[in-house]
Amino acid sequence: MFSKKSDKDYRSPMEGVEFKALVHGEKTMLCEFRIKGGRKVPSHAHPHEQTGYLVYGKMIFVIGEERFDVAPGDSWCIPGNTPHSAEILEDSLIVEVFSPLREEYL
């Protein structure tokens, strides 16, 4: 699968959050998230392993019981079924990989 950069097909699960699945294979999915500063992503968990990279922006990530101040160039890997939340301090662009696929993102 190959995908060209496009500003089309973004979805908004909550105000100030846009995302889209960029490409996927049989076992992994690459997604892009655009999140406005001042937003909070509430604590949640899912069975998917989640690996991410902050392209720009600033945020606070809580993974399990640990808090991380995240700056551009920082990355993370969250095991499946681990509670996590985020407070977005500045407009941010995040790229994340999920495994297995998040069918609801297709």
Question: What is residue 1's predicted lDDT score, i.e. its pLDDT?
Answer: 87
Question: What is residue 32's predicted lDDT score, i.e. its pLDDT?
Answer: 97
Question: What is residue 76's predicted lDDT score, i.e. its pLDDT?
Answer: 98
pTM: 0.93
Q: Are strands 29-35 and 84-99 parallel, antiparallel or unpaired?
A: antiparallel
Q: Using one digit for the tens of pLDDT, what is the confidence trace for 46-91?
A: 999 999 999 999 999 999 999 999 999 999 999 999 999 999 999 9
> Which CATH code of 3.30.420.40, 2.60.120.10, 1.10.3720.10, 1.20.5.50 fits the domain covering 13-105?
2.60.120.10
Q: Using one digit for the tens of pLDDT, what is the confidence trace for 12-41?
A: 998 999 999 999 999 999 999 999 999 999
Q: Report whether the peptide linkage leading into residue 72 is cis, meaning its omega lies within 30 degrees of zero.
A: no
Question: What is residue 58's predicted lDDT score, i.e. its pLDDT?
Answer: 98
Question: What is residue 82's predicted lDDT score, i.e. its pLDDT?
Answer: 98
